[in-house]
Structure 1
Amino acid sequence: MMSWMKCCVFPLVLLCMWQLQEGAHACRCLPVHPQTAFCESDVVIKAKVVAITTAGEFDDIKYGIKLQKILRGPIKNYDTIYTAASSAACGVTLTIGVEYFITGPLMANGAPYASSCYYVVPWKSSHNILVERYRMGCDCKINRCFALPCEISGPNECLWTDWLTENSVDDVKNKQCACVKRSDGSCAWYKEVASPGRG
């Protein structure tokens, strides 16, 4: 009986502990508005993915890119971008042949690093306008609101309330709005095709 316990139960306990440890290392970061990601990133680029290299099961994935535009950060000829090998480590999956709007930090070797904690999405023509709005709003602060009531603590803030609705990811403030400074110094949501307004 004791040998059965050693042979079967102990490995099962180890397996359960390993699974719990894996779950504890899942990617955890609060949702970030595209403007916040733009303003707080070391580098923001428009790039087309042209190749992919995997160095191993637990190593970063290296994407070869064709740089099309540097929107923020050091002017360099970036030709690669890295990401974690799994979504559990906040890695992102990029597709060869697709153009992306990529925000994120720079690695020690100077290459951009893509993470789901920043903002990495396929490029759309609307990004040309939104990038300029984001740039104008880097002095403003976007506060997330997950549950009512929510308040702003100063005139340089905008409330991001998308997460109070079922269709939060597709809400207008996420994809079409920027928080920009008005002539009186306060910040307000500005929609691409509308006038500035609080909310």
Structure 2
Amino acid sequence: MREVVTFFVLLTSMYICTEACGCLRQHPQVQFCNADFAVKAKILNRTSTVPVDPKRLRSGYTLFFTVKIIQDYKNQTNRYTYQTQDIYTESHDSFCGENFLIGDEYIILGRIYEGQWRTIHCDGNSFPLLITKYQKEAYLLEYYKKGCLCQVDECYNGQCPPKTTNNCVIPQENTQCFYRQNSCQRRGNTCSWHAPACL
């Protein structure tokens, strides 16, 4: 029952946050490759470094979540696995701050700035129950990681970038399928889509 409630709350919070802050659409592989860290983690605690005043919006990473890292997807040595880490975020939805639920597990991506781990909604954080089987494999089997030698390009307003040896192009009419079911991998001297899905 708790999983059902958590699932509903997460969907609601994700919808509100997306509506409030607005994020540039990006393929999960692009988000992974742009991140300094990508981990699966359990949320242990939530701490605000300034008093919360709903009438006064503050921009700044003034909220942090203490997490227990279960899996480190980004680093060669898995050096962060089993480590406890504070991850900072914006304190308000309008600035794309995250609102993780204590006790739940998430896949969290973000940047490290002067030693401080930071994340916002636009970095591509996800709830494991909401991602596809292929996306889970892309983290665990390093499809995204190995694909960082390639570029994922998209079509906008009917205009598509040219296909080159270093990129994969997502056709405009099938964007969500490529987001959820595929990644771009280098084979020999060229980059191409990894799976037959969406093609």
Is the TM value for this pair above 0.5?
yes
Structure 1 gap ranges (5+)? 1-25
Confirm or deny: 8 A CA contact 1:152 1:158 kept in the other structure: no
The amino acid that maps onto 1:130 is A
Q: How does 1:46-85 map to 2 (within 5 A)?
A: 46-55=40-49, 56-57=51-52, 58=58, 60-73=62-75, 75-76=79-80, 77-85=83-91
Q: For the residues of structure 1 that align with 2:84 and 2:163, how far apart are their CA atoms?
A: 39
**Structure 1 partner of 2:35:** 41
Residues 107 and 78 (structure 1), Cα distance of their counterparts in 2 relative to 1, 3 Å cut: farther
Q: For 1:115 and 1:45, how far apart are their aligned partners in 2?
A: 14
- Matched residue of 2:183: which SS? strand
Compare the two structures and name the one with the higher helix fraction.
Answer: 2
Amino acid in structure 1 at the alignment position of 2:111: P
2:198 corresponds to 1:190: no
The CA RMSD over aligned residues, in Å, is: 2.5
In structure 1, which of residues 126, 133, 136 is the aligned counterpart of residue 146 of structure 2? 136
Q: Kindly tell me: are residues 81 and 148 of structure 1, through their superposed partners in 2, closer, same or farther at Cα, counting changes over 3 Å?
A: same
Residue identity matched to 2:137: I
Structure 2 residue corresponding to 1:115, chosen from 100, 114, 120: 120
Q: Aligned equivalents of 2:178 and 2:119: distance in 1? A: 23
Name the TM-score, length of structure 2 as normaliser: 0.71
Deviation per residue, 1:106-154 (Å, 9 max, x gap): 132x242111221100125834421211112111001122221313252
Which structure has the larger Rg over C-alpha atoms? 1
CA distance in structure 1 between the partners assigned to 2:41 and 2:27 by the alignment? 20
**Higher RCO (CA 8 Å, separation ≥ 6 residues):** 2
**Whole-angstrom distance in 1 between the partners of 2:93 and 2:184:** 29
Distance 1:45 1:135 in 2: 12
Correspondence for 2:180: 175
Q: TM-score, normalised by structure 1?
A: 0.71
Q: Give, in whole Å, the separation in 2 of the partners of 1:107 and 1:143.
A: 27
For each residue in 1:46-98, what CA deviation from the matched residue of structure 2 results, as whole angstroms up to 9, or x when unmatched?
A: 10112212233335221121110111148343422111011221212211222
Equivalences, count? 163
Does the residue aligned with 2:33 lie in a helix, a strand or coil?
Answer: helix
